[in-house]
A and B are shown apart, each in its own frame.
Chain A
Amino acid sequence: MSAILDTHDHEDHDVHHHKETFVTKYIFSQDHKMIAKQYLVTGTIMGVIGVLMSIMFRMQIAWPEEPNVLFEALLGKWAPDGVMDADVYLALVTIHGTIMVFFVLTAGLSGTFSNLLIPLQIGARDMASGFLNMVSYWLFFISCVIMICSLFVEAGPAAAGWTIYPPLSALPMASGGSGLGMTLWLVSMAIFIASSLLGSLNYIVTVINLRTKGMSMTRLPLTIWAFFVTAVIGVVSFPVLLSAALLLIMDRSFGTSFFLSDIFIQGEVLHYQGGSPVLFEHLFWFLGHPEVYIVILPAMGLVSEIMASSSRKPIFGYRAMIASILAIAFLSTIVWGHHMFISGMNPFLGSVFTFTTLLIAIPSAVKAFNWITTLWKGNLQMNPAMLFSIGFVSTFITGGLTGIILGDSALDINVHDTYFVIAHFHLVMGISALYGMFAGIYHWYPKMFGRMLNKNLGYLHFWITAVCAYGVFFPMHFIGMAGLPRRYYTNSNFPLFDDLANTNVIITIFAIIGGIAQIIYLYNFFISMFYGKKAEQNPWKSTTLEWTTPVEHIHGNWPGAIPHVYRWSYDYSKPGHDVDFVPQNVPLMEGEEELQH
């Protein structure tokens, strides 16, 4: 398969001498590297807000209805005398979920690394459309601003859970947050989806069309495979959420009955007839489930790359890794019903979804075993990025295994919507994806900012985070199995759960420490930008093309011609070579066989 040559591939094309103003360089930039940084910084800010929210509602769960100075300071009128209001609790869990899933782990993760790495690793001067890329970022930025604005409206932000099931999300009489707050939520998400679609289309087109000479699909680093497939899933499933959001807007504002029927609330019968909330659940999860793979696949790609580079070994089972990415992508679009076993849909459908859901465990298991085998007999360079990668595999296994229980309809009945679910998805997609993101940041920071992150701060950050992540989410499995429902403002009305109160306090303490540990990271991140050790061109001695570009960013990435590619990206410790890595742009030696092709 021959790749298409980049049309900019002329040495006389002096791309980096464009006149750049502050605005075109830092704000309305069309350079993929700058856009990646914009995504990262915006995602980080949203992440800080999301994590802060989680610490607040964890405090409420641990010390229910006790006055708290933090609440008084941050929540103002919603925490009279420092006691958190029940509606605010629901708003916090709702916005925490929305921010973390979409704004941090979708845009922050995929947006950052797809933008940074796709052109650099496939050997392209930039994205296929730099302009669309810029528009994509700024739409994302606008959606962030709207989401933040929704926190300040009179009746509070959306408070119907991040899944915004109607009728709760449709009727302002049912929940204060379902008024203007929900409108802003929907508008923000609609814009977010537009941004995500523009980004995804760009990634797909770039990967298909702009690979450098010799960069066949089977020589691509797994990062690119992951980003590419993620973008495809996004294009397939995000529009469905957009339609759900639009129909919900119609129901809310124009009196249609797509999702509503037979409602009596606050003493009056509403006119809605014939709609079904179950329809909304189908539409929502048709995106909602693939969404978790949109979140986790890029992390998997980053981890695969970092593990190979840091183990000084090829990734084990390169083709099996690609096959499992594709299998996961395909299966991810036909398992959404496992969120709905007890929604009232036909039990036969439940059986079908149990079957497809448990199938997805197979490619996931293959991936986990392949990562572990990649470590075997390696020469592991324990950089912070590698630690986070190992941590990723650990939490992915721990969280993934309980999927066997939740995906099994018969077992889901009793643990559905309990803390067991919270533990499961936070470990398998929340913490894991966050680890993947951290791993990526530690690894590619030199590429983004030309400086190194401090490794000792990185170690401290990893180890505190790793211990706290387990400390928070591992016990949650057990309180979930004891029957404790999620999204309860306080459990004090159920003496049945009194014996779980101490566990909840422990969880909250771990959450607070884990949250504080992120300050170490933020400090490292922002200080190193200016004071960090200057990076070498290829600090980790990796084989991929991004490390052949100069440290200083230039428009067009390579000062001269784009390098050609002669081998796959995993020639680490290849016998017959003196060094333990052979970059992709090094031609095969005489008599050397290429392993994959």
Chain B
Amino acid sequence: MTALLTIIIVLFVAVALWQMVKIFDLAQVGTTNTQVADDHDNKINGYLMIGFLVFIYVITILCFWYIGDLPLLSNAASEHGAEVDNLMIISMVVIFIVQTITQFLLHYFAYKYKGEKGRKALFYADNNTLEFIWTIIPVIVLAGLIIYGLFTWNDIMNVDEDDDPMVIELYAQQFKWTARYSGNDNVLGKANVRLIDIDRANVLGVDEDDPNAQDDVVVSELHLPVGKQVVFKMRSQDVLHSAYMPHFRAQMNCVPGMVTQFAFTPTVTTEEMRQNPDIVEKVQHINELRKDRMAEIEESGQELRYEFDYLLLCNKICGTSHYNMQMKIIVETQEEFDAWMKEQTTFPNSLN
């Protein structure tokens, strides 16, 4: 912090000094300086344009090199995630190519055609063929991306009830997530915020008389069996929240007054993901960084050692503690899941 402040102060002083010098420049009204660019300015700024092109390329390469190694980007843990990643990579390649070429043309032309006294520009106002070409190329490329994108989108959003997905409710409130499993009948009991009874620990407002609610299970940690499609029915009791599960390429807003849904099939268990070389490397790196901040982390009550876990984050501004609204997600084998589920209390038994 002190270092930063020093930097700022030094910068301020530098700028101030420089400006003091400049005021004389400004005061010299009536000299030959017209404040219109001359050949000298054109030349310098032309070269700087090339310099800037290099800067753009360098910052692109640096970003890919240092922070572009995105283990999260290439290790989707859900079935549809692979498809999303594929589309993402194709889009990125298209973007990368277009960006490289157009930035080159822009800055190179700015350098190449920098003004010189006496030269006359080419009077070139129109060319229908050229304009047709650069209308039609984006059309073709975009048509491809749109078609691919829409197929993927439909695939993700259309939940086929015949596949008998496991129904889980995700319940959002300031600033906490709760999950409700639908139990053996795979049907959630009816619920409404008007039925919330804090004294009886009915925090989700589940209808106690609904037969479907009798085997529901309310938990604060999300367990998912691997390879089984899950459909999340989402509710919120107060403001908008967004259930964001980046590893599964899943996100949906939780809207008070309505039930939204999102479905996916987890494909990699938490254990497996922890063994993934990319993730191992990432975790190691994070732990090294955390060692440097040891005192601070211990003070905050967090565990010093970071271990990989899937997470559910809130990704829609929801108030003061928005930044800390999270829930752990554990993907495990069907047997582990069944064993865990057996230990949980059903909804009627959880009431006071």
Contact B315 A477 (CB under 8 A): no
Contact B250 A365 (CB under 8 A): no
Contact B72 A168 (CB under 8 A): no
B45 → chain A closest CB, angstroms: 4
Q: How far is the CA of A167 from the CA of B174 in the complex (A)?
A: 12
Contact A168 B35 (CB under 8 A): no
CB neighbours of A491 from chain B (8 A) = 323
Q: How far is the CA of A485 from the CA of B245 in the complex (A)?
A: 11
A323 → chain B closest CB, angstroms: 10
Contact A482 B67 (CB under 8 A): yes
Interface centre among B110, B150, B198 (most CB of A within 10 A): B110
**Which chain A residue has the least Cβ–Cβ distance from B150?**
A351
Which stretch (B128-136, B211-219, B222-230, B338-346) binds chain A? Answer: B128-136
Q: How far is the CA of A52 from the CA of B302 in the complex (A)?
A: 33
Residue A149 interfacial (CB < 8 Å): no
CB neighbours of A39 from chain B (8 A) = none
Residue A361 interfacial (CB < 8 Å): yes
CB neighbours of B94 from chain A (8 A) = 404
Contact B126 A316 (CB under 8 A): yes
A387 → chain B closest CB, angstroms: 6
**Which chain A residue has the least Cβ–Cβ distance from B149?**
A408
Residue-wise, chain B 97-116 has the 8 Å CB interface mask toward A (1 for contact) of 01100110111011001111
Residue B165 interfacial (CB < 8 Å): no
CB neighbours of B121 from chain A (8 A) = 311-313, 377-379, 572-573, 580
Contact B285 A499 (CB under 8 A): yes
Query: With A313-B122, A375-B106, A573-B121 as given contacts, are A358 and B255 in contact (CB-CB < 8 Å)?
Result: no
Contact A379 B238 (CB under 8 A): no
Q: How far is the CA of A212 from the CA of B345 in the complex (A)?
A: 81
Residue B6 interfacial (CB < 8 Å): no
Residue-wise, chain A 157-189 has the 8 Å CB interface mask toward B (1 for contact) of 000110001111001001110000000000000
Residue B26 interfacial (CB < 8 Å): yes
Query: With A276-B255, A498-B290 as given contacts, are A375 and B315 in contact (CB-CB < 8 Å)?
Result: no
Contact B256 A381 (CB under 8 A): no
Q: How far is the CA of A160 from the CA of B238 in the complex (A)?
A: 14
B86 → chain A closest CB, angstroms: 10
**Which chain B residue has the least Cβ–Cβ distance from A508?**
B4
Which stretch (A42-50, A233-241, A291-299, A509-517) binds chain B? Answer: A509-517
CB neighbours of A381 from chain B (8 A) = 36-37, 42, 115
**Which chain B residue has the least Cβ–Cβ distance from A409?**
B153
Contact B8 A397 (CB under 8 A): no
**Which chain A residue has the least Cβ–Cβ distance from B192?**
A262
B200 → chain A closest CB, angstroms: 14
B125 → chain A closest CB, angstroms: 4
Contact B11 A311 (CB under 8 A): no
Among B67, B315, B323, contact of A417 (Cβ-Cβ < 8 Å): B315
Contact B35 A453 (CB under 8 A): yes
Query: With A372-B106, A539-B36 as given contacts, are A86 and B95 in contact (CB-CB < 8 Å)?
Result: no
Residue A289 interfacial (CB < 8 Å): no
Residue B201 interfacial (CB < 8 Å): no
Contact A470 B59 (CB under 8 A): yes
- Find residues 30-50 in chain B having any chain A CB closer than 8 Å to their own CB: 30, 33-37, 41-42, 44-46, 48-49
A66 → chain B closest CB, angstroms: 6
CB neighbours of B262 from chain A (8 A) = 342
Among A394, A414, A492, A496, contact of B106 (Cβ-Cβ < 8 Å): A394
B213 → chain A closest CB, angstroms: 18
Contact A351 B238 (CB under 8 A): no
Q: How far is the CA of A355 from the CA of B119 in the complex (A)?
A: 46
Contact A380 B55 (CB under 8 A): no
Residue-wise, chain A 407-439 has the 8 Å CB interface mask toward B (1 for contact) of 011110110111000000000000000000000
Among A314, A459, A509, contact of B125 (Cβ-Cβ < 8 Å): A314
A190 → chain B closest CB, angstroms: 22
B30 → chain A closest CB, angstroms: 8
Which stretch (B15-23, B182-190, B265-273, B329-337) binds chain A? Answer: B15-23
Contact A527 B23 (CB under 8 A): yes
Contact A481 B37 (CB under 8 A): no
CB neighbours of A454 from chain B (8 A) = 22, 25-26, 35
Chain B count of residues within 8 A CB distance of the other chain: 138
Residue B351 interfacial (CB < 8 Å): no
Interface centre among B26, B34, B198 (most CB of A within 10 A): B26
Residue B294 interfacial (CB < 8 Å): no
Query: With A379-B119, A454-B22 as given contacts, are A467 and B55 in contact (CB-CB < 8 Å)?
Result: yes
Query: With A470-B59, A499-B289 as given contacts, are A574 and B238 in contact (CB-CB < 8 Å)?
Result: no
Contact B33 A369 (CB under 8 A): no
Residue B166 interfacial (CB < 8 Å): no
Query: With A264-B238, A482-B73, A516-B11 as given contacts, are A531 and B27 in contact (CB-CB < 8 Å)?
Result: yes
Among B29, B48, B83, B124, contact of A531 (Cβ-Cβ < 8 Å): B29
Q: How far is the CA of A480 from the CA of B106 in the complex (A)?
A: 27
CB neighbours of A417 from chain B (8 A) = 242, 244, 315-316
- Find residues 256-306 in chain A having any chain B CB closer than 8 Å to their own CB: 260-265, 267, 269, 274-278
A171 → chain B closest CB, angstroms: 7
**Which chain B residue has the least Cβ–Cβ distance from A261?**
B257
Contact B99 A383 (CB under 8 A): no
Residue A68 interfacial (CB < 8 Å): yes
Contact B22 A86 (CB under 8 A): no
Residue B176 interfacial (CB < 8 Å): no
Contact A90 B12 (CB under 8 A): no
Contact A160 B317 (CB under 8 A): yes
CB neighbours of B240 from chain A (8 A) = 165, 167-168, 277
Query: With A380-B42, A410-B149, A482-B72 as given contacts, are A528 and B323 in contact (CB-CB < 8 Å)?
Result: no
Among B66, B67, B205, B317, contact of A161 (Cβ-Cβ < 8 Å): B317
Contact A379 B115 (CB under 8 A): yes
**Which chain A residue has the least Cβ–Cβ distance from B134?**
A369
Residue A566 interfacial (CB < 8 Å): no
Residue-wise, chain B 280-324 has the 8 Å CB interface mask toward A (1 for contact) of 001001100110000000001010001010010111111111111
Query: With A401-B95, A498-B286 as given contacts, are A264 and B205 in contact (CB-CB < 8 Å)?
Result: yes
CB neighbours of A496 from chain B (8 A) = 286, 306, 308, 311
Residue B246 interfacial (CB < 8 Å): yes
Q: How far is the CA of A366 from the CA of B132 in the complex (A)?
A: 9
28 contacting pairs across A/B (C-beta < 8 A): A161-B317, A167-B238, A174-B239, A174-B319, A261-B256, A262-B193, A263-B237, A276-B257, A312-B121, A354-B150, A355-B146, A358-B149, A362-B142, A366-B131, A366-B134, A377-B113, A377-B124, A379-B115, A379-B119, A390-B107, A397-B99, A397-B102, A411-B84, A413-B84, A417-B242, A470-B59, A519-B15, A534-B29
Given A359-B142, A495-B286, 11 new contacts (CB under 8 A):
A175-B319, A313-B124, A316-B125, A344-B258, A354-B153, A355-B150, A366-B131, A452-B36, A467-B55, A489-B322, A498-B290
Q: Which residues of B contact A (CB under 8 A)?
A: 1, 4-5, 7-8, 11-12, 15, 19, 22-23, 25-27, 29-30, 33-37, 41-42, 44-46, 48-49, 52, 55-56, 59-60, 63-64, 66-68, 70, 72-73, 83-84, 87-88, 91-92, 94-95, 98-99, 102-103, 105-107, 109-110, 113-116, 119-127, 130-131, 134-135, 138-139, 142, 145-146, 149-150, 152-154, 156-158, 173-174, 192-194, 196, 198, 205, 237-240, 242, 244, 246-247, 249-253, 255-258, 260, 262, 282, 285-286, 289-290, 300, 302, 306, 308, 311, 313-324, 326
